[in-house]
Structure 1
Amino acid sequence: MSQHRPDTLQHAPLGRESAYPERYDATLLYSIPRAANRAPLGIEEGALPFVGEDEWHAFEVSWLNARGKPLVAVARFRLPADSPNLIESKSWKLYLNGFNQTRFASREEVIAKLERDLSGVAGSAVEVALFGVDDQALAPRRLPGECLDDLDIEVDDYTPSAAHLKVGEEIVEETLHSHLLKSNCPVTGQPDWGSVMIRYRGPRLDREGLLRYLIGYRQHQDFHEHCVEHIFSDLMVRARPERLLVLARYVRRGGLDISPWRATPGERPPEPLRLARQ
């Protein structure tokens, strides 16, 4: 990923000083076409090699009821991976802040407005759910499978290199994960911390090489969604698994977290799944 600000972000609020809105304003949402970042990976719109979603949680959601009393919730948003656009995170936060002093007749009205606005910007239907802050659906869980992080490896490469991905001849079905994923915002350079889970059936992956590869994103600048697509694409090319799921759970920043997943058709992530760091 280029270290320079992408052309699609020249007018985005990310990395700029912004006034926080006091009233609802759907025009604050800023779309980013997915195609530009997919092209270098050989991914063509309309012929995606994966299925998947971008799952967001917003922990700073509030509005006023019809009598002016504040209500709060945690929101879960699911954007399909085949939507033409993703939504820039700071614009999303500014948009949500506009609800804080806006009256709504019901919870259902809030959901309907969120679904309408977000779907319009993403270019595909966005699913919205609101949870109470103590809802058990939000309880943290652990990633399934075996953790790679205790492997005693030497690392001197902090850029993603698919050359680290090696496989053996044995066909296996396993789930692996690491909490050492880190990438950086392509605009501000701020660190994005995360965990990644890989579930596959195919030639056995060399675990030390896989961990070196994942650590290689440590100085990489890209959006969360594109990092996951990059990992998925490299694994498909280098390991050629029969089935593959790549899921990342990024730590929240600015009251938002994002958890993209990409998979071969028929694969789905375990649900519900939130980690303690989120």
Structure 2
Amino acid sequence: MSIHGILGEQTTDYPTTYSPETLYPIARSMGRDAIGWQTDKLTVGVDWWQAFEMSWLNTQGVSQVAIARFSIPASSPFIVESKSLKLYLNSINFTEFASWDDVQALITKDLSACLQADVQVALFGLNEDLNDNASGLLIAQPEGVCIDDALADSTDKIALTEHPDASLLRHHDTEVSSTRAVRGSSQPYAFYSNLLRSNCPVTNQPDWGTLAVSIRSEHPINEANMLRYILSFRQHNGFHEQCVEQIFADLSRCYAPSELMVRAWYTRRGGIDINPCRVSDISLLPKPSRLIRQ
């Protein structure tokens, strides 16, 4: 994968005036072509980006601060390079706006134009009453069973792999003790892991996240196998969205689920965290949320 953008530059000039041209789109097809699966099934879902370093000026020249969430449809032909988004947001730090609505409208226009999709933008004040968690910004907990200790009774040495290995999902199927379903019975169940790790394909810097899966399948789901598979991403170079789509495709191919939801909450970098979610049906789309690591 060859990507040339601001993210790969050794030195960076931070703009101090409004600079929408800073935004750098990356075609989703680059990752989806590599997955080699039904592309249309990867377009159902949302990427939630949360920015915690939002600032601009009011008409008096006083700095305003907020938290922003950008909801990018998975059907958009492009994603945005994360550092270019940070620079774009920094470029409005010293721009005056008459109202918060004006800020929201400008960012909506620029991101939608860059990604060629209808991007939704929400701004949250730091003093808002968020006790009902309607915003999804209060600390949440993933649903389901944590599988991070699923290999505690195994004697296997977990090798480092260069790329995700879907064959690990069928590894040692005799480990019945950690199987969450019985073949032939379709059941809904959910699990998560805090051990998702991959590398940025541009900088090779590590990205850490929590992965959650909700699935209904007639095939048995072995927690130890699933953890082996998740760990196989540790040296993989892929954007957050591409990793989630790879997992969605691999689970679909392996388990033929009647329902599937795969989402990840990645830790913050440059004041921004990225949270992709893919579902087999839009009715399964959860609400955006934030975890303790974010």
| Counterpart secondary structure, 2:159 | coil
Match of 2:21 in 1: 27
Correspondences of 1:1-278 after superposition (within 5 Å): 6-7=1-2, 9-10=3-4, 12-16=5-9, 17-43=11-37, 47-135=40-128, 136=130, 137=135, 138-151=137-150, 152=152, 153=154, 154=156, 155-158=158-161, 159-166=163-170, 169=183, 170-202=185-217, 203-278=219-294
CA contact under 8 A between 1:34 and 1:85: conserved in structure 2?
A: yes
Distance verdict in 2 for CA 1:49–1:96, change over 3 Å: closer
Counterpart-to-counterpart distance in 2, 1:92 and 1:275: 22
Matched residue of 1:217: which SS? coil
Give 1:194's aligned amino acid. Answer: G
Check the 8 A contact 1:245/1:267 in 2, yes or no: no
1:172-209 CA-partner distances (Å, limit 9, x unpaired):
21010000000010111111000000001002311110
Name whichever of 49-58 and 222-231 sits farther off.
49-58
Distance in 2 between residues matched to 1:277 and 1:200, nearest whole Å: 24
Partners of 1:243 and 1:144 lie apart in 2 by: 16
The amino acid of 1:34's aligned partner reads: R
> Do the aligned partners of residues 72 and 106 (structure 1) sit closer, same or farther apart at CA in structure 2, a change above 3 Å counting?
same
Aligned length: 270
Asked if the contact 1:32/1:88 (under 8 Å) is kept, the reply is yes
C-alpha separation in 1, matches of 2:17 and 2:37: 39
Higher radius of gyration, 1 or 2: 2
Q: Secondary structure at the match of 1:103?
A: coil
Query: Structure 1 stretches of 5 or more lacking a match?
Result: 1-5
**Segments ≥4 residues shifted beyond 4 Å:** none
* Root-mean-square deviation over aligned CA pairs: 1.5
Identity %: 43
CA distance in 2, matches of 1:217, 1:272: 24
Residue 44 of structure 1 deviates from its aligned partner by: 5.7
TM-score w.r.t. structure 2 length? 0.88
